[in-house]
């Protein structure tokens, strides 16, 4: 129930509930004083007034310091309120209970427990608390009429609405906390990006240029430096890969794989998936790209395309290399070379997805990895 800062976002509602209980207590005490001489047992009415005073002080202390497991205390509060209502069977005369304009001993004081239950546990609990108070009212009065039914509808309705407001407040506070953490992470990321741009990226760019100019072995170093420069630029420019809710943006993770020979295209909006699913898909794509580097040819390029189809996530990995001859995959499996079978097909099968391969000699290779959301 508490936020990260230790403050319940529904604390203003708890304060309002306590204020409501205090105001209704004053009204109830005034009603007891007004009808005291008419009661069958005036002393019991005074005792119940004292009980309401003490209990109001107790709930004020408890509700102004909300914490976990507060619902159990609100149930005790409900029992106390119903007990005070039931005392009206002894305090009031049968005629006063049967229809004379004499309210029960606690009068509207008991409505405060409906607000407490709603704020503690949401709209359903608020409606249940309202129905419980109304049922007790029916039982003590011993009859049902339009006025009592109206009270039932009001109690249930108010409990449901207050519970909805409390639940909305908690959800909004949680989203705000995540937004603030994301904003802080983004600011730190931008600071690191500026630092990297002013140091590491400039060094890599210089190495790439000089290595290309010198040629020979230095050209190979220049090529590697260029690939790392592209990967690092993608890393510092992409959105955070994970969120506080445990989900991960698959698009952001795939962008990390972009190099001079690998182009990655992802939707403009995040593609959130469970972190485990995103990790497995990213690893499968990485394995496919490794195979491009090993077998597609020295000058082959690769393209990664991420598509969010709603119910399915599809990742295509295509290259313009030499392709795979017919039967080569089966031969590799017979020779014990199970990299593709285990890394791609195995990973995707564990996610409940499927893998499709399209290839021909001289026409490159295209893997389609399809996983249900």
Q: Where are the domains positioned within the chain?
A: 11-176, 239-373
Whole-structure pTM value: 0.58
What fold, for 239-373? Heat Shock Protein 90 (3.30.565)
Neighbours of 323 (CB within 10 A): 20
Residue 243: per-residue pLDDT = 53
Residue 315: per-residue pLDDT = 93
Residue 4: per-residue pLDDT = 41
pLDDT in tens, the chain (373 residues): 444 444 678 888 899 999 999 999 999 999 999 999 889 999 999 999 999 999 999 999 988 886 666 888 899 999 999 999 999 999 998 888 887 778 899 999 999 999 999 998 889 999 999 999 999 999 888 888 888 888 899 999 999 999 898 888 888 888 888 778 877 877 776 777 666 666 776 777 778 777 777 777 777 777 777 767 666 666 665 555 555 456 778 888 888 788 778 889 999 888 888 888 888 888 888 888 877 877 777 778 899 999 999 889 999 998 888 777 666 666 656 555 555 656 678 888 888 898 888 887 777 888 899 999 8
């Amino acid at each position: 129930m508490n936020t990260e800062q230790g403050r319940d976002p529904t604390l203003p509602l708890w304060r309002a509930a306590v204020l409501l209980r205090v105001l209704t207590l004053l009204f109830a005490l005034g009603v007891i004083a007004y009808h005291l001489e008419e009661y069958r047992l005036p002393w019991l009415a005074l005792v119940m007034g004292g009980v309401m005073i003490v209990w109001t002080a107790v709930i004020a202390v408890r509700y102004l310091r909300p914490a976990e497991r507060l619902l159990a205390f609100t149930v005790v509060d409900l029992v106390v309120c119903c007990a005070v209502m039931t005392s009206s069977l002894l305090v009031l005369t049968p005629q006063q209970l049967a229809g004379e304009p004499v309210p029960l001993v606690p009068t509207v004081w008991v409505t405060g427990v409906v607000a407490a239950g709603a704020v503690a546990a949401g709209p359903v609990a608020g409606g249940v608390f309202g129905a419980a108070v109304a049922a007790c009212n029916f039982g003590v009065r011993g009859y049902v009429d339009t006025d009592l039914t109206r009270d039932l509808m009001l109690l249930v309705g108010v409990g449901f609405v207050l519970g909805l407001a409390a639940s909305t407040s908690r959800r909004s506070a949680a989203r705000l906390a995540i937004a603030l953490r994301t904003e802080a992470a983004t600011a730190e990321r931008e600071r690191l990006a500026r630092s990297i741009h002013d140091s590491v990226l400039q060094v890599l760019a210089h190495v790439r240029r000089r290595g290309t100019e010198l040629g020979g072995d230095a050209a190979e170093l220049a090529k590697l430096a260029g690939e790392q420069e592209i990967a690092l630029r993608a890393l510092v420019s992409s959105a955070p890969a994970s969120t506080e809710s445990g989900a991960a943006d698959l698009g952001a993770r795939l962008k990390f794989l972009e190099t001079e020979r690998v182009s990655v295209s992802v939707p403009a909006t995040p593609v959130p998936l469970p972190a485990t699913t995103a990790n497995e898909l990213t690893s499968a794509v990485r394995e496919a790209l490794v195979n491009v580097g090993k077998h597609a040819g020295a000058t082959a390029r690769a393209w990664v395309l991420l598509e969010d189809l709603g119910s399915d996530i599809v990742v295509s990995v295509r290259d313009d290399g030499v392709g795979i001859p017919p039967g080569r995959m089966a031969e590799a499996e017979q020779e014990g070379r199970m990299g593709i079978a285990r890394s791609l097909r195995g990973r995707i099968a564990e996610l409940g997805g499927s893998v499709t391969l399209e290839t021909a000699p001289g026409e490159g290779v295209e893997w389609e990895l399809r996983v249900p959301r």
